[in-house]
Amino acid sequence: MIGDLPVLSPLVPAVGLTLAEPARNPHPMLTAAGLDRAHAEYAVLETLVQDLPAYFPGARLRTLHGDSPAYNTLRTAGGHLFSDFEDVTRGPVEWDLTLVGPQGVEEYERVSGTAVDRALLDVMEGARLLQVVGALAFAALKPDLAPTPEPVIGLRRTRAPLSLPDAAA
């Protein structure tokens, strides 16, 4: 084994690095207030990632795919194959369950026999939306993908900003 995987590396430091680009080259989907919010939320994530179990004592850190939407699972004659492993990381299963919807979460709970921490899932979903804000840094490089993040950015605007839950005493 080469060493332990970092915790939630698709977020910290990855999102922090991508948030520098919209500051240099503003994106029309991201206002100055939206960028300020993104930086504040990233600071929350930096703190959270440093000691996730302090804020979510039931969280079990494990190896995760890190980028697990359905399109990264390929159905073949030989069974399902997984692809796109550059975001493999350690973290709570709630990270891989972001944006799968209530039915996906319920199916995970049914099959695994493990309850999902809904508060942690909510934080991880907010973090996933912040990750999309960071992806705006690449919009100029891939103009054909420019409209793709728009619904996610809209969804993010309807959510309360990420904040740290009370740490366990």
CATH code for the domain in which residue 39 is found: 3.90.1200.10
Task: Provide mean pLDDT across the span 112-121.
Answer: 95
* pLDDT range class, residue 169, cuts 50, 70, 90: very low
Question: Are 1 and 117 contacting, i.e. CB atoms less than 8 angstroms apart?
Answer: no
Q: HSE, CB side, 13 Å, CA atoms: give it for residue 140.
A: 9
In this structure, of 5-14, 39-48, 84-93, 115-124, the range with the lowest mean pLDDT score is: 84-93
6 located within any domain? no
What is the per-residue pLDDT for 1? 43
Question: E strands along the chain, which residues?
Answer: 62-64, 73-76, 79-82, 89-91
Give residue-wise pLDDT tens across range 63-116: 887 666 565 666 788 877 666 666 778 999 999 898 888 999 999 999 999 999
**What is the domain count for the chain?**
1
pLDDT digits (tens, 9 = 90+) for 14-24: 899 888 888 78
| 61 band by pLDDT with thresholds 50, 70 and 90 | very high
| pLDDT the model gives residue 30 | 84
Instruction: Classify residue 165: in a domain, yes or no.
Output: no
Q: Give the residue numbers spanning the domain of 102.
A: 14-158
In a domain, 3, yes or no: no
Q: Is it the case that residue 156 has pLDDT exceeding 70?
A: yes
Please answer whether residues 116 and 92 qualify as being in contact, where contact means their C-beta atoms are separated by less than 8 angstroms: no
Residue 88 lies in a domain: yes
- Angstrom distance (rounded) from CA 134 to CA 153: 11
Question: Model-level pTM?
Answer: 0.83
Query: What whole-number distance in Å separates Cα of residue 106 and Cα of residue 125?
Result: 16
